[in-house]
Structure 1
């Protein structure tokens, strides 16, 4: 060992400690950041026998002092434990206890560290007790009907309009202007729409069913509002259902009509089965011809030629 730092060590308070260290450690070249010279080492070796008893006496005194400090630390710890358990010990008494001066010993440093840990623990417990329990939001009733929820307490406007020959719902939600779009979530379903703004929920039940796949959402760059357009689904579904019912009814009637003719005359030929229909068609054509033809005007000056075939 050629370098040593004893700064902060209790031995630095002993008289002649530097000479004693230099004389007892001949290989040492640097002590507390100061280089050891040859002359300093010679003087330390000459005074070693005189300094040794003084250093040993100071060491014994320091040992007795440390023992008394340890005993005092144990008493202080017991008094502090009693103050925490005794209800009659006021807060003012605790403040006086911690404000009194004590020696800078390892026991006092440990005690201070434990006190800081206890204060931090009590502060966290107080903070956690003030936090309100998180309320679980219920979105639907027991029968599946969606609730109207506005925990964000934002303004909105729902109106009906016609867009591209379709009835639509237009919902204008007054989202905060400076809120980041990444914090906004929009969910459009058949009978409700839900907008989540940073764990704040806005849900609105719709009067009629809408087409969620054809709906779209836009956000204004100036006001920050959300504009949700939702086409209604009731009209289109109703028309398609009527057409489907009508077409299926016609197919059933045609099928039943053919089966009746087929089963009434199991041995009938194709000409017999189609006779009624062909006669009806001929009668209708003759009726049309009779209505469309006009009576021929007779002129006594016109003579018929036998070589010319009749026009009809």
Structure 2
């Protein structure tokens, strides 16, 4: 279960210098939050609150937010509209794609006199016959419902036939609530059955579930083919694959319980992959081959420039590290034939075009760009690269000694 923590809110208050008490807007969407808490005490000045795409089953702990103008609770598990009476400044409420089936709970918003826009599309109550008419008549100050403006004539018609619409809505609401009670009971029974099944199976050394074979008696007379088939069936990988296929292909109702079940399943799968990744660490990257060849590596994926300063007889490497990165996260190692820089644990290695002096090399950060500049002097006597001009072919001629020419 994910809780709303002070650190979570503070990390989303960078635009307010991480101060949460004077915060006017905060976005806590897609955090798998299962309960609204603490916000009404920490952020009293809040005007906009984004909580969409979480697992929140109930509206609570927002009554102290007197300045709240916009509350977004789309894509959650909310079934009843409640506990918003204290939000005196509320102007817009978004409950798109939730599980609100008790349409009569919209009457709790009658005290929110500034509420002018609301979204209930994608909820079970939006399928009720007379849904829009009932909401328009129950909230006379509402100006837009599900993105459509409420006209004056529509409001008059809604008020005229309210009694009949209200009776019809109550009947549909009761039918839905009975169905929801059955769905909740089935979900609880399914969860209890899964827990019982997990107890009957045993966890192996690798975290997988295996069937207890100690109580199974061996059957004689089986041929090798049947044994191989049974071994394949007992394979944990095939068993996991079969359960995964059953989970996604078994039909089920779209309910708050099924939505939470899918979330739990994905979280369990994610943790399993992380454990397997920890058991199988990545092979270390090859920096120098067995034959002594130095490899070029750029794990941090940084831009760089390698230049040769002919006047000062040096080689300069300009590595574009992040401007605000602390220099303590950078480690430099210069060798005669290559330079290695470790940036936040990631290796950058570059083969140099000429041999340099490691002891005389310097590493500095630019005060304007933050780039790392390595200045590496060449070794004395190092031959500088020049354009090679082809020499003309040499003509071989016989030569005499001067003494021989004089004697002749």
TM class by shorter chain equals 0.3 to 0.5
Q: TM-score, normalised by structure 1?
A: 0.45
Higher RCO (CA-CA < 8 Å; seq separation 6+)? 1
Could you state the TM-score of these two structures normalised by the residue count of structure 2? 0.36
Q: Which has the larger radius of gyration?
A: 1
